[in-house]
Amino acid sequence: MNGKNGAVSARQGAKLSSCWCGETAGTDSRHPAYVVCPACGTARLRDVAARGQGVVNGETGIYSADYWGRHQEEDLGLPSIEERAVNDLPERCMHWLSLLLRHVLPPACVLDIGCGHGGFVKLCKMAGFQSTGIEMAAEIVRFAQDAFGVEVRRGPLADLDLHFGAQHLGVCMFDVLEHLPDPLAQVQDLLQRGTGRVTLIVQTPEFTDSMSDSMFAVPEHINLFTRRAVSEMLGRAGFAHVEFAESCFQDDVTAVASNMPIRQNTEAAVAEALLATGDGRVLNATRTLAARLGQVKARNHLIEDGDGLGISWSFRQLLRGLRRRLFPH
Ligand SMILES: [Zn+2]
């Protein structure tokens, strides 16, 4: 029911949910199931009952093994967990690892909340971190343990007696924040898990006018945050330092937050930390290879895009000929 200024106090027959920030009002969004918070800009599921469906029950709730199996494959047309356990590693998992290493160095502890198949937990372990994953369904926990031989605990985190003492704790929440019924409380909880520096890396869909409609995922995506809302929530949770980082995917926002000034590790410091172990050395070689491939790709792109640089047509032909000779395949 629309009130003054388009504000929605409640829909007939349904109780309007409150925002994580405490705001009770909401205005219509471009999706009928979501309202926008006038205070912080977050889009949230309008209906309290629909939010209840996101209850975190690993065996029968939406994050059961069925979520990773039938729901992801049949309802959303996404790859199976087996395929993702292969294809995510050179793609998003390597991106996340680079981001993590920029701010947290091994042998710190790393907690990957909502770790799915466990591939990122494995990369962290290889890098020399003491890494632990958390997943909701026993079947998915077993999958990650079997596929990658990593430590995965069955969540939710609130039920686990996990504490990391004074050691630097890195917490990763990739594609998790939008699913949480009470994100502020759950992010606050992270700061109680360590007594020293806690660095949190969050990736979540960014609510913008150009955001893909697929991000309005009912009932899984309870909250869709703006950049400002992510920053406000992390600050309110006790993370005094927040900055944004490059996302792996266009529709996402990625934030790095800490209770202490955020560290920026140099490439040399990252390489030195990786070279401390055999697995880390292999990972360092993989990163070097990826960087070299990126340079070759960028060089080819420059040649293809010669127009933008004011290079003449004949000079571009010369460069293409040279490239064919130097790189015949
Ligand atoms: Zn709000």
DSSP string computed for 109-142: EEEEET-TTSHHHHHHHHHT-EEEEEES-HHHHH
Provide the residue range defining the domain that includes 155. Answer: 81-268
Domain total of the chain: 3
Whichever domain contains 126, its CATH number is 3.40.50.150
Q: How far is the CA of 53 from the centre of ligand 1 (A)?
A: 21
Strands 130-135 and 151-154 turn out to be parallel
Asked if the model's pLDDT at residue 265 lies above 60, the reply is yes
Give the Cα separation of 180 and 115 in Å (integer).
15
Q: Please give the distance of CA 173 from its chain centroid, rounded to a whole number.
A: 5
Which of 272, 266, 300, 271 has the alpha carbon at shortest distance from 287? 271
pTM of the model: 0.84
Q: How far is the CA of 233 from the centre of ligand 1 (A)?
A: 9
Which of 44, 15, 48 has the alpha carbon at shortest distance from 27? 44
Same domain, yes or no: 98 and 180: yes
The per-residue pLDDT for range 122-176, each reduced to its tens digit, is 999 999 999 999 999 999 999 999 999 999 999 999 999 999 999 999 999 999 9
Quickly state the pLDDT bin for 67 (edges 50, 70, 90).
Answer: low
Residue 296 lies in a domain: yes
The two tokens of residue 10 are 């409640």
The answer for residues whose C-beta is within 8 angstroms of residue 143's C-beta and 6 or more apart is 81, 85, 117, 118
Q: How far is the CA of 242 from the centre of ligand 1 (A)?
A: 18
Residue 320 lies in a domain: yes
From the number of C-beta atoms within 10 Å of its C-beta (0-12, 13-18, 19+), residue 101 rates as: buried
Same domain, yes or no: 210 and 105: yes
Same domain, yes or no: 284 and 264: no
Q: How far is the CA of 55 from the centre of ligand 1 (A)?
A: 21
Q: How far is the CA of 21 from the centre of ligand 1 (A)?
A: 4
The per-residue pLDDT for range 206-240, each reduced to its tens digit, is 999 999 999 999 999 999 999 999 999 999 999 99
Same domain, yes or no: 115 and 252: yes
Residue 59 lies in a domain: no
- Contact of 44 with 222, CB cutoff 8 Å: yes
